[in-house]
Structure 1
Amino acid sequence: MKKNILFDGLRSVARVGETAVIAARAGIKYATQKPSNAKLMRETFESLGSTYIKLGQFIASTPSLFPREYVEEFQGCLDQTPSLPFSYVQQVLASEFAGRDLNQIFASIETTPLASASIAQVHAAKLVSGEDVVLKIQKPGVETILYTDLNVLHWATKLLEKAVPKVKFASLADIVEEIKMRMVREVDFIEEARNLDDFIQYLNVTNNQAATAPKVYHQYSTRRVLTMQRLYGVPLTDFDLVRKVAKDPSQVLITAMNTWFGSLMMCNSFHADLHAGNLMLLEDGRVGFIDFGIVGQLKPEVWTACIGFMDALQRTNYTRMAESMLQMGMTSQHIDVAVLAGDLERLFSGVLLADPQQILTTNPSDLNDIMMDMVAVGERHGIRFPRDFALLFKQMLYFDRFMRVLAPYTDIYADQRLQMVQTVEQHQSLKH
């Protein structure tokens, strides 16, 4: 134990030194090459690794808190990183299951990862009992580096606020606390396991047999290793394959949307990262929800207003969209609904004509452009949105684009199969 504490302490000191060196290089680059502030920050964050990559993604997905140029620049802050050798993975497994014989748990573990991100690596495996599973394994040193980086960031923001009292974001320290809360949750796989359990319980309570999520093997899971059932299928973004496999692609999306919409009200948190491979059409026809590392939380009244907004967008009722914005946001000034409606019409008239498949597959950053424009419209009218609103709205735009590609002649918000708006009382009674 003392050895681990000493090792973590040395690692923290080394990390502070590494951060200082990279920051110094960035200063030299700024002095000699004069890149834009946003570009220099993105490149520096990518050099600093996992914590700062996650911070960059937070900036990219939170247009309500950061300047547009930074939000746009950080769209390129990807979380895919080179995989670590399997020997590192074995070290983590040996440490997390100390005192237990791994051969009595796993019959086999594939040495080549299915995926590798800044925080974790995913490997396919088979339990001794015969079940196919995936192991989400935290990379060595991630947690120590995370806490060291967050402490440095907290110290730096406090210093900046004292040095520049009128800094644009007066709540910088609060933002860092928000980031810290999110990231600490993301490196605690027990938290992710709870999110999965919560979602599966919701499916059971509602007798939803058309969707599923991976079962967690808690006896083989820790804060740094998550052992889950392996689901087999194709990602919903593989449009051609989905069309071949599914008899009715629109029903697949209706199922996914109904399931997700219900979870917004009935689960403790909602899945906030349903893109690419995180939403699957399984071999048995069910919709599979995977990777619950990034979640959001929203008050029921904000969700109801957001549904009204999307319904009004579908029907191009800009006055109702403006009214919904006022319900989901916060403002301290009088709002002229007609002027706000006019601004929204100018914003969304072009969005509705855009090619949805190109937005989803070629240039998904367009979704963030839409969000940033909407946030800018809100700010001009003194409207401040809840922090998790960007996560929610981006997810709903993804669903809108999925439907326009897979079922272009379906009016999703008028479809009788779509059960989005149920009373808060019904949801709350089921939740409790």
Structure 2
Amino acid sequence: MKKKIWLDGLKSVARMGETAVVAAKAGIKYATEKPSNAKLMRETFESLGSTYIKLGQFIASTPSLFPREYVEEFQGCLDQTPKLPFSYIEGVLASEFAGRDLGEIFASIDETPLASASIAQVHAAKLVSGEDVVIKVQKPGVETILYTDLNVLHWSAKILEKVVPKVKFASLADIVEEIKNRMVREVDFIEEAKNIDDFSQYLELTQNKTATAPKVYHLYSTRRVLTMQRFFGVPLTDFNVVKKVSKDPSQVLITAMNTWFGSLMMCNSFHADLHAGNLMLLEDGRVGFIDFGIVGQLKPEVWTACIAFMDALQKTDFPLMAENMLKMGMTDREIDTKILADDLERLFSGVLLADPQDILSSNPADLNDIMMDMVAVGERHGIRFPRDFALLFKQMLYFDRFMRILAPYTDIYADQRLQMVQTIDPNLLLKH
């Protein structure tokens, strides 16, 4: 035990030294090349690895807390890292399943990884019982690096708050704490397994046969290893490939969206990272949801208010938009909804002179701009949006990209098949 504490302390010191070297290089680059602050920060974060990459992604998905230029720059924060040798993967498996013969669990494991990101590497495998699975293995020192980095960030934030007491984005230490809570959950694969089970239970209770999530093999999963059913299918980013599997690609997208919208109302958390790599069209025609490491939590009434807000926008009913904006956020002030409605009218009149429906067919960059403007209007009136509101909106942007591929000539949001707010049987509700 003492040896482990000593080793962890040594790793922490080494990590702080590594951070200092990268920071020094960034300083030299700033002095010689004069890049923009946002670009330099993104490049530095990518050099520093997993914790800072996740921090960058948090910045990109939280426009209510960070300046626009940083939000936009960090949209491109890369999460791909070098592949680890298979010998490391074998070592982790042997350590996590100590006392058990790996040959009695896995019949085979592919040495070439399917994917390698900042926190984990994924390998295909086959169980001795014959099932095809994927094994998600945590990368070395992730937790130690995470805690060291976040402690440094927390210390830095405290100093910054003292040196610049009127810093625009106050409570930086609280923000770091929020990031820490999220990232600690992401590096605990037991938590991810619970998220998958929660989603699968929702599919079962609603008798949804058109979507699925991978089965988790709990006996072969730990905090650092997650063993799941392997899905075979195609990503939703290639129209021609999807067309070979489904006669109606737009129905595939409708299925994915309806399933996700239902989970907002009925699951303990919602999948907050459904990009192209995490949605698949399986060989049997079902839509497969994978990678539940990043999730958000949203009260059903907040989502209902979001839908009512968009509906009021389409009708250009700005007073109703103002009312629902209050329901979406939180405030400790008395809000004059008429003044808020006037501000919203000024904002959206400039964006949607032609047709209010354009809000739902703008390109993702425009939609992101609109959300940031809307959040800014809310802040001026003392309205604070839930932290996970940005994750919700980010997912809407992902769906926008899918629409352009799978249904380029269809107005999905006007499609009768789409159910953004679903009728819920109280007996089926998972939330309390």
Same fold (TM over 0.5): yes
Match of 1:113, SS state, is: coil
CA separation of 1:427 and 1:296: change in aligned 2, threshold 3 A: farther
Deviations 1:224-249 (A, max 9, x none): 10000001111112222223321122
Structure 1: distance between partners of 2:151 and 2:382: 33
CA separation of 1:73 and 1:408: change in aligned 2, threshold 3 A: closer
Structure 1: state its 5+ residue gaps: none
Q: Which residue of 2 aligns with 1:200?
A: 200
Tell me if 1:181 matches 2:181.
yes
Match of 2:412, SS state, is: coil
Structure 1: distance between partners of 2:4 and 2:238: 45
Please give the root-mean-square deviation of Cα atoms over the aligned residues, in Å.
Answer: 2.5
Q: Which residue of 1 aligns with 2:108?
A: 108
Q: Which residue of 1 aligns with 2:99?
A: 99
| CA apart distance, 1:410 | 4.2
Structure 1: distance between partners of 2:366 and 2:241: 24
Structure 2: distance between partners of 1:13 and 1:339: 51
Deviations 1:276-322 (A, max 9, x none): 12111111000110000000001121110112233445566555444
Match of 1:133, SS state, is: strand
* Deviation larger for 344-353 or 179-188: 344-353
Q: Which residue of 1 aligns with 2:141?
A: 141
| CA apart distance, 1:423 | 5.2
| CA apart distance, 1:413 | 3.9
Alignment-mate amino acid for residue 106 of structure 1? F
CA separation of 1:237 and 1:312: change in aligned 2, threshold 3 A: farther
Alignment-mate amino acid for residue 233 of structure 1? G
Q: Which residue of 2 aligns with 1:41?
A: 41
Could you tell me the TM-score, scaled by structure 2's length? Answer: 0.91
Q: Report if the CA contact (8 A) 2:347-2:373 is conserved.
A: no
Identity of aligned residues (%): 81
Tell me if 1:347 matches 2:351.
yes
Deviations 1:246-289 (A, max 9, x none): 11222212211111111111111000011112111111000110
| CA apart distance, 1:422 | 3.6
Q: Which residue of 2 aligns with 1:162?
A: 162
Deviations 1:310-354 (A, max 9, x none): 344556655544443232123433232144133123234589669
Alignment-mate amino acid for residue 334 of structure 1? D
Q: Report if the CA contact (8 A) 1:347-1:373 is conserved.
A: no
Q: Which residue of 2 aligns with 1:426?
A: 426
Q: Which residue of 1 aligns with 2:329?
A: 329
What does 1:176-255 align with in structure 2 at a 5 Å threshold? 176-255=176-255
| CA apart distance, 1:55 | 0.4
Q: Which residue of 2 aligns with 1:52?
A: 52
Structure 2: distance between partners of 1:347 and 1:177: 36
Q: Which residue of 2 aligns with 1:88?
A: 88
Structure 1: distance between partners of 2:104 and 2:84: 25
Structure 1: distance between partners of 2:313 and 2:114: 38
Alignment-mate amino acid for residue 116 of structure 1? S
Q: Report if the CA contact (8 A) 2:239-2:249 is conserved.
A: no
Q: Report if the CA contact (8 A) 1:322-1:344 is conserved.
A: no
Structure 1: distance between partners of 2:235 and 2:315: 29
Alignment-mate amino acid for residue 415 of structure 1? D
Total equivalences in the alignment: 427
| CA apart distance, 1:118 | 0.6
Q: Report if the CA contact (8 A) 1:197-1:216 is conserved.
A: yes
Match of 2:302, SS state, is: helix
Match of 1:228, SS state, is: strand
CA separation of 1:377 and 1:269: change in aligned 2, threshold 3 A: same
Deviations 1:146-186 (A, max 9, x none): 11111111111112112221122221011000000010001
Q: Which residue of 1 aligns with 2:292?
A: 292
Tell me if 1:11 matches 2:11.
yes
Alignment-mate amino acid for residue 178 of structure 2? E
CA separation of 1:321 and 1:348: change in aligned 2, threshold 3 A: farther
CA separation of 1:134 and 1:365: change in aligned 2, threshold 3 A: farther
Match of 1:388, SS state, is: helix
| CA apart distance, 1:16 | 1.2
Structure 2: distance between partners of 1:211 and 1:179: 31
Structure 1: distance between partners of 2:329 and 2:70: 23
| CA apart distance, 1:375 | 2.4
Tell me if 1:368 matches 2:368.
yes
| CA apart distance, 1:123 | 0.6
CA separation of 1:394 and 1:112: change in aligned 2, threshold 3 A: same
Structure 1: distance between partners of 2:336 and 2:423: 29
Alignment-mate amino acid for residue 345 of structure 1? S
CA separation of 1:349 and 1:78: change in aligned 2, threshold 3 A: farther
Q: Report if the CA contact (8 A) 2:256-2:287 is conserved.
A: yes
Deviations 1:335-384 (A, max 9, x none): 32144133123234589669969x5xxxx655533432332343345433
CA separation of 1:19 and 1:405: change in aligned 2, threshold 3 A: closer
Q: Which residue of 2 aligns with 1:415?
A: 415
Structure 2: distance between partners of 1:327 and 1:296: 18
What does 1:73-84 align with in structure 2 at a 5 Å threshold? 73-84=73-84
Alignment-mate amino acid for residue 229 of structure 1? Q
Alignment-mate amino acid for residue 343 of structure 1? L
CA separation of 1:415 and 1:111: change in aligned 2, threshold 3 A: same
| CA apart distance, 1:426 | 3.2
Could you tell me the TM-score, scaled by structure 1's length? Answer: 0.91
Structure 1: distance between partners of 2:241 and 2:374: 33
Alignment-mate amino acid for residue 197 of structure 1? D
Structure 1: distance between partners of 2:287 and 2:131: 20
CA separation of 1:237 and 1:374: change in aligned 2, threshold 3 A: farther
